[in-house]
């Protein structure tokens, strides 16, 4: 039985690898554009939630700028400049920042903890999201009495919130990289989403209740789950707090806040150039961050290379190996095909992760193994004329294993909807 499972995982790995290499080999020219997706997948994953929230934010600001433009007074004199700065600062504090806080917490609860609960067949789950500047809670509903539940699944639920806000910040960042523009209407949302997990860890104290605190839940289940060695060390909060410092060193987050203050509050701009390192005709941006996984923490080393026609990424993820070896890497390329009627992006992810016990109608033992995932995103233009709306489909095929924003189980996940292209 175990041999058949390993052979099945190896066959899936070969399929995903060949699919990506085939697509990566065919590249055509394109223009740099930022796509915004209104999509749906039957599992309502955090990737779906992130795209809906970012697109909703984009449409919200289009509406807002129509009725609350960034400049109300002529700036021929210093009084007009001062009045506009006061107006934009007030609008940001009273409207924009509470809105960003609300949709970030919504992502954390509904498409973070909620997505993992739906994956594990919980029903009647409820959510509390307070507005403005409030927090949130997820109240897990009824379990499926016909399935088993494991500590590994409880870990997935515990980290689901901070996982989903990192997915949200990564989606925003990738749109900026594709267009070469930092949208100031997304600056605070990006910064607060990126730092959500690290701030949560750093602000958690030993005496908080483990029943309502995600980080205490994570710590508790890390110390009692998986198939652990008998002499395993106890992991305290200080271990996670030290590793979380890395996310405070993200320069793009600080630049986003600076651009929001200088570009929007002071000057009334809606976007600024995204700073990258020039290398010939290309631009390069390295990034480092920490993430949580059901096996412990992971350090991501991400490298982005932008050409005139596409955005390319190569990343490595290095696990802390507390309870088993885990690592991974990935490749992505946008606009592999882009012509008058369609465009196509692709991603490939490879990982090694520890043995895990997964629940279901039967308990599934996932042995330590190599896994992989391949993604293809297809955008079909609906009209011959220039039109900002395309039909969008995203196909994901993966092995069992943890990949941010995706189901843990193996198989297909299909997302479909409409793409709105920002070309300004």
pTM here is 0.89
Q: What secondary structure does DSSP assign to 53-120, as a single string? A: HHHHHHHHHHHHHHHS-S--S--SSHHHHHHHHHHHHHHIIIIIHHHHHHHHHHHHIIIIIHHHHHHT
| pLDDT value, residue 7 | 47
- Distance, in Å, from the CA atom of 320 to the CA atom of 354, rounded to the nearest integer, reads 12
- Distance, in Å, from the CA atom of 376 to the CA atom of 394, rounded to the nearest integer, reads 6
Instruction: Give 3-state DSSP helix, strand, coil % of the chain, rounded to 5.
Output: 40, 30, 30
| pLDDT value, residue 21 | 39
Better-predicted residue by pLDDT, 13 or 303 = 303
Of 123, 156, 172, the residue nearest 222 (C-alpha): 156
283 pLDDT more than 80? yes
Please, which pLDDT band fits residue 222 given cuts at 50, 70 and 90? confident
- Name the strand (E) or helix (H) holding 412: strand 411-422
Place of tokens 């609350």: 68
Better-predicted residue by pLDDT, 355 or 260 = 260
13 pLDDT more than 50? no
Average pLDDT, the chain: 87
- Distance, in Å, from the CA atom of 383 to the CA atom of 389, rounded to the nearest integer, reads 8
Three-state DSSP class for residue 275: coil
| pLDDT value, residue 145 | 86
| pLDDT value, residue 369 | 83
Of 27, 14, 37, 147, the residue nearest 394 (C-alpha): 37
Q: Region 314-319: what's the mean pLDDT? A: 97
41 pLDDT more than 90? yes
| pLDDT value, residue 211 | 65
Share of the chain above pLDDT 90, in %: 67
- Distance, in Å, from the CA atom of 278 to the CA atom of 202, rounded to the nearest integer, reads 35
| pLDDT value, residue 208 | 64
Three-state DSSP class for residue 149: coil
pLDDT digits (tens, 9 = 90+) for 111-156: 999 999 999 999 999 999 988 877 899 999 898 888 888 888 899 9
| pLDDT value, residue 384 | 65
Burial class (CB in 10 A: 0-12, 13-18, 19+), 385: exposed
Residues belonging to the chain:
424
Looking at the DSSP assignment, which residues form a beta bridge with residue 391? 380, 418
């Amino acid at each position: 039985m175990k041999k058949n499972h390993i052979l099945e995982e190896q066959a899936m790995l070969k399929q995903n690898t060949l699919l990506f290499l085939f697509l990566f080999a065919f590249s055509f020219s394109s223009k740099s554009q930022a796509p915004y997706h209104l999509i749906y997948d039957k599992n309502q994953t955090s990737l779906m939630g992130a795209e809906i929230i970012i697109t909703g934010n984009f449409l919200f600001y289009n509406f807002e700028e129509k009725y609350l433009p960034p400049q109300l007074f002529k700036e021929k004199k210093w009084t007009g400049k001062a009045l506009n700065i006061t107006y934009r600062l007030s609008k940001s504090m009273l409207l924009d920042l509470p809105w960003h806080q609300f949709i970030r917490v919504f992502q954390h609860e509904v498409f973070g903890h909620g997505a993992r609960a739906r994956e594990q067949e919980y029903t009647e789950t409820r959510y509390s999201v307070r507005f403005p500047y409030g927090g949130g809670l997820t109240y897990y509903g009824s379990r499926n009495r016909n399935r088993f539940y494991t500590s590994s699944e409880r870990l997935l639920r515990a980290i689901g919130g901070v996982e989903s806000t990192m997915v949200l910040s990564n989606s925003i960042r990738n749109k900026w990289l594709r267009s070469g523009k930092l949208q100031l209407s997304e600056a605070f949302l990006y910064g607060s989403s990126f730092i959500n997990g690290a701030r949560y860890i750093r602000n958690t104290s030993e005496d908080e209740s483990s029943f309502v605190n995600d980080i205490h839940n994570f710590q508790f289940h890390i110390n009692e789950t998986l198939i652990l060695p008998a002499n395993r060390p106890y992991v305290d909060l200080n271990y996670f707090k030290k590793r979380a410092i890395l996310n405070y060193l993200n320069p793009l987050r600080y630049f986003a806040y600076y651009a929001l203050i200088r570009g929007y509050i002071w000057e009334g701009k809606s976007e600024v150039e995204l700073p990258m390192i020039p290398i010939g005709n290309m631009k390069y941006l390295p990034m480092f961050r920490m993430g949580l996984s059901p096996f412990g923490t992971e350090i991501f080393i991400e490298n982005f290379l932008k050409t005139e026609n596409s955005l390319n990424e190569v990343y490595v993820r290095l696990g802390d190996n507390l309870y088993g070896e885990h690592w991974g890497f990935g490749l992505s390329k946008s606009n592999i095909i882009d012509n008058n009627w369609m465009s196509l992006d692709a991603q490939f992810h490879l990982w090694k992760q520890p043995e895990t016990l997964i629940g279901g109608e039967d308990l599934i033992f996932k042995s330590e193994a190599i896994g992989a995932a391949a993604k293809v995103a297809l955008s079909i233009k609906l009209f011959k004329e220039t039109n900002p709306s395309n039909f969008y489909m995203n196909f994901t095929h993966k092995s069992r294993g943890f990949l941010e924003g995706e189901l843990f189980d193996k198989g297909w996940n299909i997302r479909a909807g409409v793409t709105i292209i920002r070309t300004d």
